[in-house]
Structure 1
């Protein structure tokens, strides 16, 4: 297994006490024993979402402006902190040891600083399901991409963390980065701030770029796994590539329908 010189990195980015005390072995063991509970969370989520939509059909929509601001702001802060703590770790590996090691190295799961944020990332996929409650209770349009994305990210994250599969550092750091932008945007919109349209375009573009990079990383993991130094499994790589490919198609379609087709219709009407 490839390993990063943790001592050198510790000098560059000091740990907080809660990061130092974090027991990643216990966390990984818990996930190995309990990762299948993600299916229970997903089933409960789907039942509440579609049951909630049925319940709200004959009832007035709720405002929930303040709870939505607090919810989005808390997830924005969490994601920003995740970027601040994980991106330097990934940059250190990438700049000192190259792309191959940044993908194949497993120390993201047990290295200084990043070990806590790797576990926090996978756990956060359960409470993030709460996003949909605001859509249902405010009677907004719920698109397939939204709930499909929430369920599959939860399942794949828990499934992969237990095995410390290669590529995890890239997957998590990219997602932290995109969510930092996305939830900041949601918080600003919920607060009634006028956010320039290009910022929304930037977020969706970043999501598409994330999916392209996710496919690239998964492909490289498969290639280097054949040489014995990129720990993963064929079933995990297969699920990762199917997931990222479906996301790429769905987000690209969302981009087209929201920014290109709608803009073309507006221009034609004018």
Structure 2
């Protein structure tokens, strides 16, 4: 299992039984054999959301506020736990083994049971996260291309990356957990009818833009290493997909930030478009 030399792990204060019992070989084998089933889930997802939109056309919207609060609180708790359990390994590797190791050596799943378990949970979570769109459809809120494009690509990419044990996933996973911790907490407050300050929304968007920019930078650096034949445990296909995804997300979030917080001379049409984009962008799950 461990192609690379064993590295030191952070000194965890406590290990849960489900973490200490985690066996990467088993989950890797399952994902290698089943990751392509994600295409079937995507097909079902597209059928449900667009069929649901058609079904809801002449029906009153569902409020679902209590369920929405519970949903966001659940995802916020999950993200906070994921961030707390993966950040120690991430910072430990950066501090003791350097940037190259953090991007190119997949010890976070092959050698660290805690980080490995939460990498597995992160990958699987992209399937139930499709449920976000169900709330949009049933509450008759705007469903634009960006929202379902994002969910589809993140699910497919995450499952492929786990099957390939892509090393750069360490960065993508930790960034996602951290941003989602704040983002879902914000959604939960909004669902409970609290009114967080506008500055908090701006901070979340800025973090999302930063996440996409870092993703692009990592992908470009990895591509350079691959072209130079430097050992880096990432396939050229995986790296190309990551670069396309992160760049497209970066452009969309920059546009969102501009129209939401900076632009002052917008036409009525632009205002309507921006509102739709804002909702879909902020409800999208970034990788």
Shift in Å, 1:227? 3.8
Shift in Å, 1:89? 0.6
- Give the match for residue 20 of structure 1: 20
SS in 1 for 2:214: helix
Instruction: Structure 2: state its 5+ residue gaps.
Output: 268-287
Q: Deviations over 1:105-149 (max 9, x none)?
A: 211112131010000001000000000111111111112221111
Alignment CA distance shift 1:180-1:4 (3 Å): farther
- Tell me the distance in 1 between the aligned counterparts of 2:238 and 2:23: 25
- Tell me the distance in 2 between the aligned counterparts of 1:131 and 1:114: 26
Shift in Å, 1:211? 0.7
Q: Is the Cα–Cα contact under 8 Å of residues 23 and 113 in structure 2 kept in the other structure?
A: no
Matched, 1:235 2:237: yes
Alignment CA distance shift 1:88-1:46 (3 Å): same
- Tell me the distance in 2 between the aligned counterparts of 1:185 and 1:231: 36
- Give the match for residue 222 of structure 1: 223
Q: Deviations over 1:137-189 (max 9, x none)?
A: 11111122211111100000001111111211001000111111111111110
- Tell me the distance in 2 between the aligned counterparts of 1:37 and 1:98: 36
- Give the match for residue 51 of structure 1: 51
Instruction: Structure 1: state its 5+ residue gaps.
Output: none
Q: Scaled by the length of structure 1, what TM-score is found?
A: 0.93
Q: Scaled by the length of structure 2, what TM-score is found?
A: 0.87
Q: Indicate the larger mover: 93-102 or 217-226.
A: 217-226
- Tell me the distance in 2 between the aligned counterparts of 1:58 and 1:43: 25
Shift in Å, 1:265? 4.9
Alignment CA distance shift 1:3-1:196 (3 Å): farther
Q: Deviations over 1:4-62 (max 9, x none)?
A: 524x52x3454221101012111011000000111111111111111111111100011
Shift in Å, 1:228? 3.3
Matched, 1:37 2:12: no
Alignment CA distance shift 1:223-1:15 (3 Å): farther
- Give the match for residue 197 of structure 1: 198
- Give the match for residue 247 of structure 2: 245
Q: Deviations over 1:46-89 (max 9, x none)?
A: 11111111111100011100000000000000000000000111
Q: Is the Cα–Cα contact under 8 Å of residues 20 and 114 in structure 2 kept in the other structure?
A: yes
- Tell me the distance in 1 between the aligned counterparts of 2:150 and 2:179: 14
- Give the match for residue 77 of structure 2: 77
- Give the match for residue 152 of structure 2: 151
- Give the match for residue 129 of structure 1: 130
- Give the match for residue 271 of structure 2: none
User: What's the RMSD between the two structures over aligned residues?
Assistant: 1.6
Q: Is the Cα–Cα contact under 8 Å of residues 32 and 162 in structure 1 kept in the other structure?
A: yes
Q: Is the Cα–Cα contact under 8 Å of residues 4 and 93 in structure 1 kept in the other structure?
A: no
- Tell me the distance in 1 between the aligned counterparts of 2:224 and 2:46: 36
Shift in Å, 1:236? 1.1
- Tell me the distance in 2 between the aligned counterparts of 1:62 and 1:106: 44
SS in 2 for 1:154: helix
Alignment CA distance shift 1:138-1:194 (3 Å): same
Shift in Å, 1:259? 2.4
- Tell me the distance in 2 between the aligned counterparts of 1:12 and 1:22: 15
Alignment CA distance shift 1:125-1:148 (3 Å): same
